[in-house]
Each structure stands twice: as C-alpha cells, then as structure tokens.
Amino acid sequence: MRRAIMAAVTSSLLDDALARYWGYTEFRPLQREAMEAILAGRDSLVVLPTGGGKSLCFQAPAVVRPGLAVVVSPLISLMKDQVDTLVGNGVPAALYNSSLTGAEKTRVAAGLREGRYRLLYVSPERLVGEGSDGFLTLLESCDVSFIAVDEAHCISQWGHDFRPEYRQLAQLRERLPGISLQAYTATATARVRRDIMAQLGLHDPVELVGGFDRPNLLYRVLPRASLKRQILDVVARHKGEAGIIYCISRREVEALAAWLTTEGTPALPYHAGLGEAERSGNQDAFLRERVDVIVATVAFGMGIDRSNVRFVVHAGSPRSIEHYQQESGRAGRDGLEAECLLIYSAADFMKWRVMLESNGELNDGNIALLRQMEQYAASVGCRHQYLAEYFGDRYTRDGCGACDFCLDELEPSPEPVLLARQILSCVARVGQRFGSTHVASVLRGHASDQVVSRGHNTLSTFGLLPEASVGEVRGYIQQLRAFDLLRTTDDMYAVLTLTPKGLALLKDETSCPDLSLARQRPPRKDATRARSRVDTESWEGVDRALFERLRAIRLETARERAVPPYVIFHDATLREMARLRPDSLDAFRAVKGVGARKADDLGERFLTAIREHAV
Ligand code: ADP
Ligand code: ZN
C-alpha cells in the first residue's frame, strides 16, 4: 500500500518536472517506465531509437530524486550541449572532463562538495583507469544516487564504437556502494544487449526495448547514375536546412565538399584524416549553424549530431544495415520529418570487400552483412518494414507513407521473370566476359564501337529493351545481383557472370518465384517529390515565414550566448510557436517544449517577434 502511494507520488513528481523544466506534457513510449525504474532504485537497460528521448529518461529522475546523478558519455561535444541545455532549462548540471581548465575544475569540484548539482556529466576516463582515484574520492562524498551510461553499446566489441574504458565501469559499484546503474543505447542486437548487461554487471535490470522504426524518416534508394545531379536534387529540396552527406573514402569527402561549395551550397569535410583542430572546427561550424551541410566518411561522424538534420545522403553504400541505421538515424532527431537517401552502386560493395580484405576483416560475418545491405538497397517493398523486420520488430502498418515504395516512386516491373531472363540471357550471349555498361548497351540496342567491334549488334538480345535508360538497366542488374542471379567478378573489370541460381532461371522460369524488379518512376515535370505524411502534418498550420524569423532570432540568441541554436529551442518548438502564435507569456509557456525557466528567460524576445510579424 505504502509503496503504491509512494509510486503514485513520485510518478506525479515526474509529470511536474517534465512540464516545468522541459515544457512537455506527455511521455514518449517507455520513458515513464525507464524513469520509474530509477526511482525504484533498480538497474535498467533501455534501448530506444535515436530521437526516442533517452536523455530525459535519466534527466527527469535526477531532478526528482535526492542525490547526484552521474552521466557517462563518450563525446565531449555532446556533453557540453546537454549540460548547456539543462542549465538553460533551470536544472543545475555540470560536466567534468579534459576540456576544462584548472580553474573550471576547481569550481566544479567546489560545486560538487556543496551539493549544488543534480547531474554531473563525465567521460569514462574520469571514472576508471589511471588518475581517476582522486576524482572518485570526491564523488564518494557526493551522495551519488545512480550512474547513467549513455551510448552503452560502446562497451561491446560487437557494437559499432567500441570503447575499452567502458569495460571497467562495473567496478564503480565497489567504490560507490548503493548506486544503481542505468544503460542506454539506440542500437542493440540481442548479442550487444547481453554483452552490456554482463559487462556492466547489471543486477536484475529492468529491460526496456522500444521499436526501431523511425516514422519521421523518409527512406529513398537510388541506383547511382549521375551522382552530382542526384546530390544537387536533394540539396535543392532542402534549401537552408541541415544535412549530412556520407562518402566511402576521404578523397571523395574532400572533393564533394569543395564542389558543393562552388555550386553555391557551402559544405565542410569531416573525416578521421583531418587534423584535430580542423575537424572540431568543422564540427562546431555545423552544430552552431554556421554551415548547414557537412560531408563525412561513413566510418566517422558520431560527433556531428545536430537535432535538426533534415537530410542524410549516402553517396555510397555503408557496409551493413546496422551502419546504415546508425548513420541515417542522425536525421530528424527532433522528431520532425527528414529524408534519408541512399545512392548506391555495385562498385560500393566491391570497394568494401577490398577495404575489409586489406584490414584483415573479410570474414563470413562481414560478407553476410555486406550482402544484406545490398539486398536492402535492391529490394522492392516498403523500406520501413524491411528495416523494422531486419532488426527483429514486427511491422504491422500497411504502407508507411514515408518511403519511395509507399510513395509510389518505384515502378514494379509487370513481368519480372521475363525481364530477368532477357538480361541473364544477354549476359550469357556476350560470353560472361563484360561488365554492366556493355551489357546495358547491347540490351538497349546501342550500337557503340565496343558493341559493333565485337559483333554484339547481331546478337538476338541486341535491342531487347529499347525504351530503357542506362540507369534503369543498371538498376535491374543490381537487383539481379541482390537476388543472387548475377555476380560480378572481384577484379577491376567487374565482369558479369551467371550464378547457379541465374542459370536455373534461364532453364526454368518457375525457379525464382518471389522475384520482383522495379525501376524509378520518371520524376514529375515540376521536379518536386511527394512528401511524407509526417512532413505534411508537422507543417500543418505553421506560418513558414514566421518560423524562419524565429529561427533567425534563435541563431542570434545562440551566438550571443555561445551555444548551439538547438540548445535554445528545438525546431519542433519553433514550429509550434509559428503555429500557435502565442500573444501572452501564459500562452507562450503553454507551447510544447517551453519550460518555465525558458519562458522567463526568452519569452519577451520571442513574443515581440511574433507580435511584430504581420499576419
Ligand atoms: P535520444 O538520446 O534518444 O536520441 P534525445 O534525448 O536527444 O533522444 O531526445 C530527442 C528529442 O526529443 C529532443 O529534442 C527532446 O527534447 C525530445 N523529447 C524527449 N522526450 C520528449 C517528450 N516526452 N515530449 C516531447 N519531446 C521530447
Ligand atoms: Zn513504406
């Protein structure tokens, strides 16, 4: 009975804190359960997708329960943003890491002794390993209530950002008895999840695993044709918005960033080969909205998390669906619509094989991952469903309203088996000695010098697909590869050959019953694209000009205070303001995402702009 009452009381404290400090009235899925686990003194493992609201899961309980919450976070730049946001919302918080000056460290240490903070952000190196002892002694005197381990997959070798120091975090319980441990991550296969629980030594943890689907992301896939044109199209769709463009190699990153800049879209490169100063400078320029587009290598980019990234383009395929999920997931963290475009070609998978080979990582596991990525790219069906099911979720929605397939941008071939057999027999007729460009020429009836000099213009397969474009035929070939009907040789000639399955289909047309092939529907005349459901809804009733005006004021405020703009307000909050057009401080306070502190601090400034903005 007493427990039930206590639970009800603390639960309503959470509601109050959420409204007062963050200006939110509802919990996202599993947030309340995650918070209650902490309040009950339990350990927990929380898996929520990017943008699912993991930070609040430990921040709100830290405000509500007595004692200090320690947050372990692997990235110094993100730590600073989180602390700035908390302080801006009126929550006493601090960070302690190698970026602090001696004087700052002294100040934070004094604050800790006085019990001034609700949350303390630290890097793992602070807590474990050499030189951490003094710091732990300080923490021993601080009444630490729990430790939240953010990006907990870093503890696992099976995850994508292994950090050895994470391995030692379990020892903290010896130094700080009575604390509970909370782990948070966005990516966790069952194997990584088990690893996190074991390595952190979680005691009977509350395990909360949310769905992986991100309904606000619009997924598109395009076979690479004219890459620059394809990239310019996306950038034009997102004028003035933030985007990340991923390339496979550093060289491509540099070239693309320079080229985009000359085309009138300022873009900065970001990869591990840059010097520390340039890299963090470019990252900072992106986070602070001095530049909107960043070009990065796929292997890199954990620090370039800005909450209002509206598009993520992969100019080449990543090496696994896990990587794709992680990288494309940097779009739309604020819950608003965002576009994730994968532009791929068979050459990408070849490049990865070469790279894995030279790193000694070309094993069956990685080959299978690569293959699955290729299958995703070439698949003809709902992308949300594909990704959700890949990660073990059931996807029950009928039509996501946010992928190229569901938006009817793909045109499934009415006779895929016939089409496949035409292409396969062409590959056979040219003696399995040519690549896709040549095969496409023959099929399209293009009497190039190459084709004529080999006499391939006299083949029965010459001109079988006269209407198809080169890109279209290459797209089909790619899809046939993914269905394991065709293969390309691993050398630089990328010669197309038939697989046993491909040979079987040539002999017996019923041998591949679930085959589906599709081409891109030609773009509409006005070159616009369909918008996703979330896109339409989130702009409903929003005065766009006012939204832009509010963005400008946010940027101005952010520059004055030397913080990134999203630390002031998220885009979602600005849109809400531009929708509701509050005309009093009370009305301003009622806007989702405006807490009490923010309303006092910034209300007048934003209200003035709203009033001055003519209807
Ligand atoms: P994650 O760490 O899971 O990627 P964040 O903690 O950064 O996600 O949250 C993503 C966004 O969602 C942030 O802008 C945050 O303010 C917002 N958010 C979190 N919880 C809620 C909620 N209950 N209601 C509205 N917005 C929320
Ligand atoms: Zn779909």
> Which atom of ligand 1 is least distant from the CA of 28?
23
> How far is Cα 343 from Cα 315, in angstroms, rounded to an integer?
5
Q: Is 50 in the pocket of ligand 1 (CB under 6 A)?
A: yes
Q: How many whole angstroms from 535 Cα to the centroid of ligand 2?
A: 14
Q: Is 15 in the pocket of ligand 1 (CB under 6 A)?
A: no
Would you state the pLDDT for residue 285? Answer: 94
Residues of the chain whose pLDDT is less than 70?
1-7, 158-161, 188, 523-528, 615
Would you state the pLDDT for residue 533? Answer: 84
> How far is Cα 115 from Cα 49, in angstroms, rounded to an integer?
33
Would you state the pLDDT for residue 300? Answer: 73
Fold of 536-614: DNA polymerase; domain 1 (1.10.150)
Q: Is 32 in the pocket of ligand 1 (CB under 6 A)?
A: no
- Number of residues that this document lists for the chain: 615
Q: Which amino acid is at 441?
A: S
Domain range summary for the chain, segments of one domain joined by +: 2-209, 217-408, 416-519, 536-614
pLDDT in tens, 442-499: 999 999 999 999 999 999 999 999 999 988 999 999 999 989 999 988 777 889 999 9
> How far is Cα 100 from Cα 266, in angstroms, rounded to an integer?
32
Decide if 2-209 and 217-408 have a common fold: yes
Q: Which of 18, 24, 184, 594 to mutate to test the pocket of ligand 1 (most atoms within 8 A of CB)?
A: 24
User: pTM for the whole thing?
Assistant: 0.88
CB of 70 within 8 A of CB of 128? no
Would you state the pLDDT for residue 160? Answer: 61
Tokens at 105, concatenated? 């460290």
Q: Is 516 in the pocket of ligand 1 (CB under 6 A)?
A: no
Residues around ion ligand 2, judged by CB within 5 A, are 382, 384, 400, 403, 406
Would you state the pLDDT for residue 528? Answer: 64
Tokens at 503, concatenated? 């040979």
Would you state the pLDDT for residue 237? Answer: 93
Region 416-519: CATH code: 1.10.10.10
Of the candidate CATH numbers 3.40.50.10140, 3.40.640.10, 3.30.1490.190, 3.40.50.300, the domain formed by 2-209 belongs to 3.40.50.300
CB of 91 within 8 A of CB of 118? yes
Task: Identify which ligand lies nearest to the alpha carbon of 387.
Answer: 2
> How far is Cα 243 from Cα 520, in angstroms, rounded to an integer?
23
Domain 217-408 class?
A: alpha beta
Give 247: exposed, middle or buried? Use CB within 10 Å, 0-12, 13-18, 19+: buried
Would you state the pLDDT for residue 615? Answer: 64
pLDDT in tens, 432-456: 999 999 999 999 999 999 999 999 9
Would you state the pLDDT for residue 2? Answer: 58
Task: Identify which ligand lies nearest to the alpha carbon of 569.
Answer: 1
